[in-house]
Amino acid sequence: MEYQQHMKMKRPKKGFFSRIEISILGTNCENIKNISNKISKQIKQYISVTYVDKIHGNDDFNNHENLNFLNVYTDKISHHEYLLNKSSGSFEEHFFDSGNLTIINGNHNSGINQIVMIDQTKKISLLKKKKNLTNVIAFIGKDLTVPDYISDCIKNSQDIPFFLENDLVSISSFITSFVSKQITPLNGLILSGGESLRMGTNKAAIEYRGIPQHQHLNQLLKPFCDEVYVSCRKEQVHLFDNTIEDSFIGMGPTGGILSAFRKNPNVAWLSVACDIPLLNYDTILKLTKHRNPMKMATCFYNSTTKFPEPLITIWEPRAFSVLLYFLSQGYNCPRKALINSEIEIVELDDESVLLNSNTQENKKEVFEYLTRKNK
């Protein structure tokens, strides 16, 4: 067997800074910052922007009054500086993933996608960065003229959208559409790795409807998910099909969710606990219809606990780094991550579907409820 020093892991699809990033280049740094700020102002109601730049002499990024970015990341040559443009106290703010989009000053850093501003005075500067023009998604200019040097260094430039610099509405609409198209597929995750100590028997195997609960949940999730997996401990793998073995041991639901992201960090995960037997098709339909991929997660509100409900939650890809950060701070409760992050909360008409069946008494109540309902 060939020696391998480190375990291979599936890496998130992202650039140097974030999953969705656009570098703007082709003109001077002041123009890039100004148009980035104007775009951010137009879209900030729907899309939060982190801006990446370097310090330019007397340029003062500490004055945030006129900036519309969520965060600003600046390179001070000898070190980096990360400035927050809000102070909600959220742990999530420590990550580039706290925003939906990273806009980069392409004169100093590259991004996965690029917008080129047409500026004849910066022709030579742009040509020097030709290798960074890997996926140009738009041009911005003072008029609709595409100079020869642009056509020479960018293939199929005639097929790339062109916007006038003062048409901020069209530019912002284009970027909003671009970001919204980056929605990732949705996989299902049945959390079945608990030891069922209070129930005294495997909760995933209880047959509330004539089949094991994990099979029932699998049937519920399949219409909404590309793939459905069962999260479980190593000794349980033989009990289920299509499993994800816990690689974060002894950490409850958070460990299961993180193990799923470790398997595939490039999809969103709809996690469902195996011990919510009243969950139904309409409830999952409502959650998926209200999915907001611009937030870290989408979940229901539990009026009993007065908190977001982690038992049925859509975790977007950027939740991976957020959950890992909380874990590094000693928090392995998924609800804690939800409370302290930007999330989409959905109201339920009937919260009985959130019933958590953990004991024999709960199990009896569920059977009685289902019996009455089926009469």
Instruction: Specify the residue for token string 């069209």.
Output: 170
| pLDDT per position as a tens digit, 46-65 | 888 888 887 765 555 555 55
Non-local (6+) Cβ contacts of 207 within 8 A are: 213
Can you tell me the distance from the alpha carbon of 139 to that of 114, in angstroms, rounded to the nearest whole number?
Answer: 9
* CATH number among 2.60.120.200, 3.40.190.290, 3.90.550.10, 3.30.530.20, domain 186-374: 3.90.550.10
Can you tell me the distance from the alpha carbon of 175 to that of 261, in angstroms, rounded to the nearest whole number?
Answer: 27
Non-local (6+) Cβ contacts of 122 within 8 A are: 26, 27, 28
pLDDT of amino acid 362? 87
Would you tell me how many other CB atoms lie within 10 Å of the CB of residue 26?
A: 26
Q: Which fold has domain 21-180?
A: Rossmann fold (3.40.50)
**Amino acid, single-letter form, for residue 36:** S
Per-residue pLDDT of the chain (375 residues; tens, 9 = 90+): 566 666 677 888 888 888 899 999 999 999 999 999 999 999 988 888 888 887 765 555 555 556 776 666 665 443 444 444 444 344 334 446 667 899 999 998 899 999 999 999 999 999 999 999 999 999 999 988 888 889 888 888 889 999 999 999 999 999 999 998 988 999 999 999 777 778 877 888 889 999 999 999 999 999 999 999 999 989 999 999 999 999 998 888 999 999 999 999 999 999 999 999 999 999 999 999 999 999 999 999 999 999 999 989 999 999 998 899 899 889 889 999 999 888 999 999 889 899 888 888 888 888 888 888 776
- 3-state secondary structure at position 68: coil
pTM (2 d.p.): 0.83
| pLDDT per position as a tens digit, 252-288 | 899 999 999 999 999 999 999 999 999 999 999 999 9
From the list 154, 161, 185, the residue with the least C-alpha distance to 175 is 161
pLDDT of amino acid 373? 77
Strands 21-25 and 49-54: unpaired
Q: Which is it for the CA torsion 14, 103, 45, 43, positive or negative?
A: negative
Q: What is the mean pLDDT of the chain?
A: 86
pLDDT of amino acid 78? 39
pLDDT of amino acid 201? 79
pLDDT of amino acid 32? 94
Domain residue limits, the chain? 21-180, 186-374
- 3-state secondary structure at position 57: coil
pLDDT of amino acid 189? 98
Is 186-374 in the same CATH topology as 21-180? no
* Cα separation of the two ends of the chain: 62
